[in-house]
Structure 1
Amino acid sequence: MWFTRVSLKNPVFATMVMLAIVVLGVFSYQRLKVDQFPDIDFPVVVVTVDYPGASPEIVESEVTKKIEEGVNSIAGINALTSRSYEGTAVVIIEFQLHIDGRRAAEDVREKVATVRPTLRTEVKEPRVLRFDPASRPVWSLAVLPDTQASANGRQGATSAAVASLGSAGATPGGQNSAVELTTWAEQILKKRLENVRGVGAVNLVGATRREINIYLNPQALEAFGVTPDQVVAAVRNENQDLPVGAIRSLAQERVVQIDARMQRPEDFGRIIVARKNGAPVRVEQVARVQDGAQEVESLALYNGERTLLLSVQKSQGENTIEVVDGLNAAVAEMRAQLPPGVRLETIGDSARPIRVAVNNVRQTLIEGALLTVLIVFLFLNSWRSTVITGLTLPIALIGTFLFMNMFGFTINMITLMALSLCVGLLIDDAIVVRENIVRHVQMGKGAYAAALDGTQEIGLAVLATTLSIVAVFLPIGFMGGIIGKFFHEFGVTIVAAVLISMFVSFTLDPMLSSVWHDPSIHTHGQRTRPVTFYDRTVGRVTGWFDHATEALAEAYQGILRWS
């Protein structure tokens, strides 16, 4: 083969090509993302519409059917299902697997937007969400009270929280403490976590947010002749900032705006609701204003104790392990800035099972490679031949990372399993080529001629063997369905590794065989007296194994002659 001749005539060039493959593979390995499974896009879009107070029958006729008729004309839909509940309609659109999920979601949003004017005004705005397994939280953090802190420490923590949040008049304990802790978590902790590279969203569960509640007094409303709608309208109109316009002159331009947003809770009580007999009726006369907390919409418990939970979602295509490492580093920095009486504890870490699974497969890969080299050494009984053939393994494995990076693959259980399974296949071509070159050397040929003739003689058989392996595994990478999406990286990874090993067997192995002579070739099969330390230790084992295989070969030849 022509590249065998090129490598034999230009050994330095062949060496540089192998080094280039290794260097590019190492750089690609550093850029590869690590995940548990391949990044699979499931083209499923869910439309959720709320219709408060409506029965399932009304939701079905007024909302669900209209949404179904609107999105049914989108191309590529595989299945369309819907569910109508009390006050809620859910429409699930499953697209064919070759459809891009983001584009499908955009098409659904366009169709839903055209259907929206036909829905009743009581119907809430439809929500269109794309099913994405990568959107699940990868890390969770709990904000817990520090039970080991003393009572004075807890009291100081509350005072510090009050001072830092600027909430004058708040008293320690109870709802106020929960509100202050939520405010600290939203304004400081959440923003710090959002600044970590790769974080897509931080959701707060179990929060108790501050809210100004106005409790109406029915007797006072009746006495003053004021309706609840008047109170609502007054609060809405008075508590806002409005731009009025601009005053222009030849020399300057001034912007005019109304700054009427309330600054303190007691300011709400001074809002004028109406005027009776020329006297203003204020909110504090018909209602009670309380600086309290919102109604609980979500609840987070840790060991039966109420807590604040921050769940973090990573951005699309980010490395899960790098994101979690950045979050852990951010929390470590935040521990020194925590208010007294508060502690942070990580309760969910998706990177941990990924690390364990990937490390187990990686360890299996290394063990398989070492055992393969050991078996080759026992059969060849020459450390030079073992090195020449064994170099195919690291070059092929590292070079595969280059193609994985080019194809957008990740280091996951599927790709590592593919590399583990093909370890034995990668060294087959090199063994066959090396054995044939050794046979030609034993026939009395020179190293260069033996390398060239031996490779050319066996080249077609090695090529046919490699292509048969490619023909078996390449179709696996192009199977259909969800399973095909998972095994796409499996088949392509094995094919890339096998092709690289064949290229190395036809270039590096003949070149090394031509320039690196092995004296043990001429003594093969002969019993020699142990001279060196190697001959007296490892050489005894390999020599015994070599003589055993020779005896087995002679016995097999005798059986063939007899038959």
Structure 2
Amino acid sequence: TLRWVWAVLRGLLSVVLVPYLLIRFVVHTVLSLVRSALLVVLLLCGAVVAAAVVITTIVAVPVAAPLLGLFQILLNMVHRAYPVIVRAALRQRLLVVGGAGLSFWLCWTHLVPALGTELIPPVHQGEFNLDLTMPVGTPLLHTAAITATVEQVAAGLQAVERVVTTVGSDGTATSSADEGEHTAHVTVYLQDGTPPQAEDRIIENLRQQLSRLPEVDTEVSYPALFSFKNPIELEIRGDDLHLLRRTSADAVGIIAELPGLADVRSTLQTGNPELQVVYDRERLSDYGLDLRAVAELVRNKVQGRVATDFRREERNIDILVRLREDDRLGVEELKRLTVNPSGDVPIRLSSVARIRIAEGPSEIRRIDQQRAALVTANIQGIDLGSAVLSIESAMAGMSFPPGFSFLISGQNEEMERSLDSMVFALALAIFLVYIVMASQFESLIHPFVIMFTVPLAGIGAIAALYVVNIPLSIVVFIGFIMLAGIVVNNAIVLVDYINTLRAAGMAATEAIVQAGTVRLRPILMTTMTTVLGLLPMALGLGDGAEIRTPMALTVIAGLVSSTFLTLVVIPTVYSLAVRASKET
């Protein structure tokens, strides 16, 4: 029995052990091969990197050595000249501080108003839209023929890759009230790598060519990125629709003459023709008819009324009851409608109402529970703030009917709200930085001295924006908020070392000069590394550069000006603060 049990156990063991050893051998072999392959790959990559470093060093050292030598010479010259400059500044404290204050005042009062304002820098996405509008009532085929001409003109321009056209309106909820068979939408896609200047030239060329088409209004728009509103939206408010349409047309004529504005149009366009039934209440009363009952009867006969529904394959189909088309589409047919079907003597509609052909409004827009017309426009070659000022000046000289008013909204309203928020954020950032430094220095004077670096940074940033003609925008204010936390670093390093030397028993003037001399190289190096890191962003390379460039340029210019002025102005302000504290 024991032999039989041992034989069974040995057989089972061999059945389990043999596959286990086989699997272990295979796995071990595969892992060994993978490890060897990874080792070889890593060795090859290391060899390639080492070779690249050696080759780069061999090639770059002869080129970089003169530049590094020149940089070292300039740094030594600055290092030797700095103590002389600081001592001269300390002898003319009021002149240095007054000059810095005067520079900031000139930038604030002369350069800032000349910069202009905008919500977001326009981003060129390589595509734009052409919205074509023809007179109301234009047949769809005629609209398609004109749109085909526009499509051929756009496709024939250089750098245009393809053109997509939509004629008419699909009638969905996203369609506006003025869309219909008389409107078309053309999207122009440009080739990859088309510069913004070429895109502007293409749009201007299209505007000139399409202006020759009779009775065709063209508006250029861009895909929505940060705002769904037009750059310029002028709200004209009033109760009378006819006066509102006429006033908006006058405003369109005035705004279209202003420089820098294009594609000016009003939302109150020519309305659709319609038949209006005007009931005579006295005649209705003479015949003993009810106005509401007669109006509902005419509406049901012309427009129809759902009498019941028909169920078919789980679908409810409405059954609409109305007159035949030959009996309801026309003035004479409407006049012959019987308004008292249950009466002994039939009374025709022409006996109790007057039917006239008129023009209905294209839309009835209400803003703050008041009727309004919207005049939209695009800006071209000027900033949003300058365009708004010119429109306000032009509208101030325009006579409005009694009870009418105007308001500029659109991106201007968003810009004012956003800029106010950014100003508050900048003030809050400066306050928080001051609170943190006051708690660390255990003083209110020294953080106040350090905070002088913020207006010093503003001098360089505002001057740079003025030189390159970049208006103030949200991204520029983001750059200023970043500057509020970056530029104080150099002053903190400088003031902290001055306090350390003074605590060791050194005189204030000597401590200022020695601290500036010792901290000169670290301050310059930290500034240079930050500037070089932001330089690719400031050069405007790649898509979306219009957003990145203003922010990077603001930080670079503010940091550079703050660094050089900090090394001279902050020691002077510190000396004045020390002198004032001694006198008190």
TM-score (norm 2): 0.55
1:138-217 aligned at under 5 Å gives the runs 138-145=232-239, 182-183=245-246, 186-187=249-250, 203-207=265-269
Provide closer, same or farther for how the CA distance between residues 57 and 448 of structure 1 changes in structure 2, counting only shifts above 3 A: closer
Q: Render the CA deviation track for 1:99-118: whole Å, top value 9, x for unaligned.
A: 413223356679999xx9xx
2:126 is the counterpart of 1:32 = no
2:172 is the counterpart of 1:93 = no
| Range that drifts further, 134-143 or 30-39 | 134-143
Q: 1:220 is matched with which residue?
A: none
2:216 is the counterpart of 1:136 = no
Amino acid across the alignment from 1:338: P
Q: Render the CA deviation track for 1:152-187: whole Å, top value 9, x for unaligned.
A: xxxxxxxxxxxxxxxxxxxxxxxxxx6566445545
Q: Is the 8 A contact 1:59 1:84 kept in 2?
A: no
Q: 1:103 is matched with which residue?
A: 201
Q: Is the 8 A contact 1:300 1:306 kept in 2?
A: no
In structure 2, stretches of 5+ residues that fail to align are 1-78, 169-180, 274-355
CA distance in 2, matches of 1:366, 1:24: 21
CA distance in 2, matches of 1:59, 1:204: 22
Q: 2:313 is matched with which residue?
A: none
CA distance in 1, matches of 2:114, 2:550: 17
CA distance in 2, matches of 1:9, 1:430: 19
2:362 is the counterpart of 1:298 = yes
Provide closer, same or farther for how the CA distance between residues 343 and 333 of structure 1 changes in structure 2, counting only shifts above 3 A: same
Provide closer, same or farther for how the CA distance between residues 56 and 129 of structure 1 changes in structure 2, counting only shifts above 3 A: closer
Out of 82, 87, 94, the position equivalent to 2:164 is: 82
Q: CA deviation at 1:208?
A: 5.4
Q: Is the 8 A contact 2:123 2:544 kept in 1?
A: no
Q: Is the 8 A contact 1:46 1:92 kept in 2?
A: yes
Give identity over the alignment, percent.
15
Provide closer, same or farther for how the CA distance between residues 500 and 142 of structure 1 changes in structure 2, counting only shifts above 3 A: same
| Range that drifts further, 49-58 or 103-112 | 49-58
1:473-552 aligned at under 5 Å gives the runs 473-478=534-539, 480-514=541-575, 516-517=577-578
Amino acid across the alignment from 1:372: V
Q: Is the 8 A contact 1:4 1:452 kept in 2?
A: yes
CA distance in 2, matches of 1:111, 1:343: 37
Q: Is the 8 A contact 1:455 1:506 kept in 2?
A: yes
Q: 2:455 is matched with which residue?
A: 394
CA distance in 2, matches of 1:97, 1:293: 52
Provide closer, same or farther for how the CA distance between residues 206 and 500 of structure 1 changes in structure 2, counting only shifts above 3 A: same
Q: CA deviation at 1:42?
A: 5.0
Out of 516, 524, 527, the position equivalent to 1:463 is: 524
Amino acid across the alignment from 2:475: I
| Range that drifts further, 23-32 or 471-480 | 471-480
1:137-536 aligned at under 5 Å gives the runs 138-145=232-239, 182-183=245-246, 186-187=249-250, 203-207=265-269, 298-302=362-366, 309-313=373-377, 315-318=379-382, 320=384, 324=388, 338-339=401-402, 342-344=403-405, 346=407, 348-478=409-539, 480-514=541-575, 516-517=577-578
Q: Is the 8 A contact 2:457 2:561 kept in 1?
A: yes
Q: Is the 8 A contact 2:268 2:363 kept in 1?
A: yes
Q: 2:87 is matched with which residue?
A: 8
CA distance in 1, matches of 2:450, 2:575: 14
Aligned-pair Cα RMSD in Å: 4.7
CA distance in 2, matches of 1:41, 1:305: 37
Provide closer, same or farther for how the CA distance between residues 112 and 321 of structure 1 changes in structure 2, counting only shifts above 3 A: closer
| Range that drifts further, 2-11 or 326-335 | 326-335
Number of residue pairs the alignment of both structures matches: 394
Q: CA deviation at 1:378?
A: 2.4
Provide closer, same or farther for how the CA distance between residues 97 and 129 of structure 1 changes in structure 2, counting only shifts above 3 A: farther
Q: Render the CA deviation track for 1:424-467: whole Å, top value 9, x for unaligned.
A: 21111001111222223333433333222211112111111122
Provide closer, same or farther for how the CA distance between residues 8 and 40 of structure 1 changes in structure 2, counting only shifts above 3 A: farther
CA distance in 1, matches of 2:454, 2:243: 60
TM-score (norm 1): 0.57
Q: CA deviation at 1:474?
A: 2.8
Provide closer, same or farther for how the CA distance between residues 387 and 8 of structure 1 changes in structure 2, counting only shifts above 3 A: farther
CA distance in 1, matches of 2:369, 2:509: 78
CA distance in 2, matches of 1:353, 1:428: 34
Rg larger in structure: 2
